[in-house]
Amino acid sequence: MAKMNMLQAINNALDLAMAKDDSVVCFGEDVGHFGGVFRATSKLQEKYGKARCFNTPLTEQGIAGFANGMAAQGMKPVAEIQFADYIFPAFDQIVNETAKFRYRSGNEFNVGGIVFRSPYGGGIAGGHYHSQSPEAYFAHTPGLKVVIPRDPYQAKGLLLASIACPDPVIFFEPKKLYRASTGEVPEEYYEIELGKAEVTQQGKDITVLAWGAQMEIVQKAVEMAEKDGISCEVIDLRSILPWDADTVAASVKKTGRLVINHEAPLTGGFAGEIAATIQKMCFLHLESPIERVCGMDTPYPLALEKEYVADHLKTYEAIKRSVNF
């Protein structure tokens, strides 16, 4: 074990993946010698050469298209989109090409080797073009997998699993936690299974569900609620697509209550999908309406970020509303 922050854990995962498999190639804007604007690919070009770790021109659709072609040939491109806010020029390549490649060819061809890595989310005074959480757009696209880690240990294991996975994965990294989140991380290779949520804390009165950077937020809210005598079960969803409805439903059947928290705007956010599924699976077990604590239906603000975000206080209030319903 070694103490790593999330960037170091991601860098370590990429290093191990490239060492293990020659077909793993990392590229994106500023990814080469500089090691990426956040330094997630630091030293990889030095170690594996310019052919396997390189800068690309400033073209997200080009990066995604190039990755599709490389993966169709059988390689495992790990392509970085510098900010999730800039993934939209690549939307067509990802949604119409990456996601449908295997299906439309009848499995003659596939691009399962792809991982698109991209820093997402707020909390860095980035305003609306450096703070978005676009996971719901991609969760609406059959053929993709969408994964979001909460800490360095999770980031390494989930990223290695994403690279090994025979399906294309979009891996959103909570950039707020890149340096802020540290922890013990095994130095060797390991994978964390995709599509599985994790119960990070057992409880009996209410289930609180989040992913990525919001896990820290809900943890703070849960600690406040516990001082009020409310026993909370906490779940990290980890995979947005496919998502682990069974683990969430089992928890809600036990607690009878659910609060979902995400950074992205409320309307059309993934919490809506979870709420619809869980009310169907747990209808007779529910003691109160499912609560959603999300971003407001506005672009992500700058000066008023604190007011906008789905913070611990809003989550704490939702927990109380649910318990006192």
Residues annotated as catalytic are 60, 130
Backbone dihedral angles phi then psi of residue 323, each to the nearest 5 degrees: -70, -35
Buried b (16+ CB within 10 A) or exposed e, 178-203: beebebebeeeeebbebeebbebeeb
Q: How far is the CB of 74 from another protein (least distance, A)?
A: 7
Please identify which residue in the block is written with the tokens 């036990």: 254
- State the minimum distance, in angstroms, from the CB of residue 293 to another protein: 25
In the bound state with another protein, the residue whose beta carbon lies nearer, of 74 and 289, is 74
Residue 246: CB minimum distance to another protein, A:
8
User: Are 167 and 138 in contact, with CB atoms under 8 Å apart?
Assistant: no
Q: Whole-number minimum distance, CB 140 to another protein, in Å?
A: 13
Task: Using the minimum distance from each CB to another protein, give the nearer residue, 29 or 291.
Answer: 29
Alpha helices in 165-311 (DSSP H): 214-227, 245-255, 270-281, 305-308
Q: Which residue has the tokens 């500089």?
A: 34
Helix, strand, or coil (residue 51): coil
Q: Whole-number minimum distance, CB 198 to another protein, in Å?
A: 17
**Pick 97 or 216: Cβ nearer another protein:** 97
Measured CA angle at 21 (ends 15, 23), to 5 deg: 105
Residue with tokens 């999330």: 6
Are the beta carbons of 144 and 195 closer than 8 angstroms? no
Single-letter code of the amino acid located at 120: Y
Is the CB of 112 or the CB of 174 nearer to another protein?
112
For residue 57, whether the previous peptide bond is cis, meaning omega lies within 30 degrees of 0, is no
Could you tell me the two tokens for 230? 């409310």
* Minimum gap (Å) between residue 313 Cβ and another protein: 34
Q: Which is nearer to another protein, 5 or 118 (CB)?
A: 118
Strands across the sheet with 198-201, in order?
Answer: 198-201, 232-236, 206-210, 258-265, 291-295
**Contacts to another protein by CB under 8 A:** 25, 51-52, 54, 56-57, 59, 61-75, 77, 89, 92-93, 96-97, 100, 102-110, 112, 142-143, 145, 166-167, 195, 242, 245-246
Choice between 279 and 288, CB closer to another protein: 279
Per DSSP, the three-state class of 194 is coil
